[in-house]
């Protein structure tokens, strides 16, 4: 009995034998590593060290030598990834730098011309010097640069946009070249300039702010108005694309002209307009520009086909587009750009035509306005019909909800009979 109580109360309990710890599998590689043993301290003569015993150094083991445990062949994948990243970064850096150099070359060549024609060039808000070409353009992205100019008679302002190839991203540029080569509908990447002039057209008082010197532009002697029309000189390689993409050009007639090179054509609404605008200076500038020239468009119509009367309202603009030379030499393109800047002066003085010519020009616009008005009236009629149907349905539901079950059944049967009679009547009329 006493032994039994001792067992219950814990007496004479044998000591727990320690259990050997199971080695962790994550450190199995280190399980067999030799244990570092310290060597006994050695004494040297005091005259050599000045102190007593000298501590021993750490024993040699390969676990402290990475070059013995690993080799470069283990990092082949990482090396390949780093090499690709280095190549991409290098191409990106040089591509972006090349685009900036190309934009700067254009600005340097055109800064004197823009400064001589406009009071304000660029987005800085102050006049720049001819040698400050870096202030002419503003970098919007690595492949797009923009400029702005204002402060000239007959011109409200000018927008200039340089669209360059994405040299900084060969993974995008190469497929664009391949697709553009295989399909005519996809343009091949190129460096190009697009400029747009917004003439005053007699609205100086509404546009020019009340600042010193603005009174000259608002004077009655300044006649910047000219008749509205669409006229263009186009490179034949761009003609099909322009007709498909631009509404204003699509309403013109195409005809070659003896003065122009064979690779260009005139798109005009009237032969009298062509006679007034196709000057010898323009012809010489186009010939000098060569195949870099894309188009010069004078228009008062929207680029997209108008869908409302507000969109069909005339807005006069002048467009110029040409391809940038790979050599960054703009001597052959400067005459064309200079003529483009001075073109509003020529329009305000000569673009006033006979009533018969303007009547022919207006006929196309009036036809477009009639079509827009017709579509607008049809849409309004559909909206009114929907409103009537909604009101009729709401009235029917209100009447039906006011009746009891028996009366509702009789109402629905009468409604069904009425619809059957109406359908039979329509079928008889058709027969």
pLDDT at 15: 45
- Residue 335 or 426, more confident: 335
Q: What is the rounded CA–CA span in Å between residue 222 and residue 344?
A: 12
Q: Model confidence over 26-84: pLDDT tens digits?
A: 555 555 555 555 545 454 454 444 555 555 565 555 556 666 777 778 888 988 999 99
In this prediction, residue 221 carries a pLDDT of: 47
How high is the mean pLDDT of the chain? 82
Q: Residue 3 — pLDDT band, cuts 50, 70, 90? A: low
Model confidence at 332: pLDDT above 90: yes
Distance CA 362, CA 356 (A): 10
| Confidence band for 403, pLDDT divided at 50, 70 and 90 | confident
Other residues' Cβ atoms within 10 Å of the Cβ of residue 42: 9
Give percent above pLDDT 70 in the chain.
80
| Per-residue pLDDT tens digits for 183-193 | 877 888 999 99
Identify the pLDDT of residue 144.
Answer: 94
Please write the tens of the pLDDT for every residue from 239-282.
Answer: 988 998 999 999 999 999 999 999 999 999 999 999 999 999 99
Structure tokens at 306: 């108008």
Query: CB-based contacts of 213: which residues, under 8 Å, 6+ apart?
Result: none
Answer for the pair 318, 199: CB distance below 8 angstroms, yes or no. yes
pLDDT of residue 25: 56
Return the bridge partners of 155, or none.
Answer: 152, 199
| Virtual torsion, Cα 51, 52, 53, 58, nearest 10 deg | -10
Contact 188, 177 (CB under 8 A): yes
User: pTM of the entire structure?
Assistant: 0.73
Burial class from Cβ neighbours inside 10 Å (0-12, 13-18, 19+) for residue 237 reads exposed
* Cα radius of gyration rounded to whole Å, the chain: 42
| Per-residue model confidence (pLDDT) at position 48 | 47
Q: Name the DSSP class of 54.
A: B
pLDDT computed for residue 64 by the predictor: 60
- Average pLDDT of the residues in 88-111: 92
For 194-244, what is each residue's pLDDT tens digit?
999 999 988 877 777 665 555 555 545 457 889 999 999 999 998 988 998
Pair of tokens at residue 191: 């460096």
Instruction: Tell how strand 155-163 and strand 192-199 pair up.
Output: antiparallel
Residue 45 burial by CB count (10 A; 0-12/13-18/19+): exposed, middle or buried? exposed
Work out the number of other CB atoms within 10 angstroms of the CB of residue 150. 15
Residue pair 230/300 in contact by the 8 Å Cβ criterion: yes
Cβ–Cβ under 8 Å, residues 199 and 252 = no
- pLDDT interval class at 8 (50, 70, 90): low
Beta bridge partner(s), residue 232: 267, 297
Residue range 155-181, pLDDT digits in tens? 999 999 999 999 998 888 888 888 888
- The phi and psi torsions of 308 (rounded to 5 degrees) equal -130, 165
Angstrom distance (rounded) from CA 121 to CA 135? 8
Q: Residue 312's pLDDT band (boundaries 50, 70, 90)?
A: confident
| Higher per-residue pLDDT: 285 or 377 | 285
Nearest to 32, CA basis, from 66, 61, 65: 61
Instruction: Compute the residue count for the chain.
Output: 431
- Residue 295's pLDDT band (boundaries 50, 70, 90)? very high
């Amino acid at each position: 009995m006493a032994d039994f109580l001792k067992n219950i109360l814990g007496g004479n309990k044998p000591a727990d034998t320690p259990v050997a710890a199971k080695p962790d599998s994550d450190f199995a590689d280190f399980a067999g590593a030799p244990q570092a043993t310290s060597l006994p301290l050695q004494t040297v003569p005091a005259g050599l060290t000045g102190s007593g015993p000298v501590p021993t150094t750490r024993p040699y083991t390969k676990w402290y030598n990475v070059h013995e445990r690993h080799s470069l062949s283990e990092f082949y994948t990482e090396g390949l990834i780093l090499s690709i990243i280095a190549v991409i970064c290098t191409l990106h850096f040089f591509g972006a730098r090349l685009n900036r150099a190309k934009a700067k070359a254009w600005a340097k060549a055109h800064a004197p011309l823009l400064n001589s024609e406009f009071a304000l060039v660029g987005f800085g808000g102050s006049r720049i010097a001819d040698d400050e070409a870096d202030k002419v353009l503003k970098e919007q992205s690595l492949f797009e640069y923009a400029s702005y100019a204002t402060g000239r008679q007959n011109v409200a302002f000018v927008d200039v946009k340089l669209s360059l190839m994405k040299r900084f991203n060969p993974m995008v540029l190469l497929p664009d070249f391949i697709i553009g080569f295989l399909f005519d509908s996809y343009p091949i990447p190129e460096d190009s300039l697009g400029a747009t002039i917004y003439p005053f057209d007699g609205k100086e008082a509404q546009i020019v702010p009340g600042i010193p010197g603005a009174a000259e532009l608002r004077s009655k002697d300044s006649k910047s108005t000219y008749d509205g029309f669409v006229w263009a000189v186009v490179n034949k390689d761009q003609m099909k694309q322009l007709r498909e993409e631009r509404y204003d050009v699509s309403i013109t007639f195409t005809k070659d002209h003896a003065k122009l090179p064979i690779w260009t054509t005139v798109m005009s609404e009237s032969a009298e307009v062509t006679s007034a605008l196709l000057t010898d200076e323009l012809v010489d500038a186009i010939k000098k520009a060569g195949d870099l020239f894309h188009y010069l468009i004078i228009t008062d119509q929207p680029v997209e086909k108008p869908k409302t009367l507000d969109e069909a309202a005339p807005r006069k603009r002048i467009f110029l587009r040409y391809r940038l030379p790979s050599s960054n030499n703009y001597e052959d393109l400067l005459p064309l750009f200079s003529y483009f800047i001075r073109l509003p002066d020529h329009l305000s003085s000569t673009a006033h035509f006979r009533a018969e010519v303007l009547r022919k020009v207006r006929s196309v616009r009036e036809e477009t306005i009639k079509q827009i008005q017709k579509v607008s009236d049809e849409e309004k009629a559909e909206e009114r019909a929907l409103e009537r149907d909604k009101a009729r349905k709401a009235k029917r539901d209100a009447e039906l909800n006011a009746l009891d079950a028996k009366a509702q059944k009789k109402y629905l049967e009468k409604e069904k009979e009425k619809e059957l009679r109406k359908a039979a009547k329509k079928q008889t009329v058709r027969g």
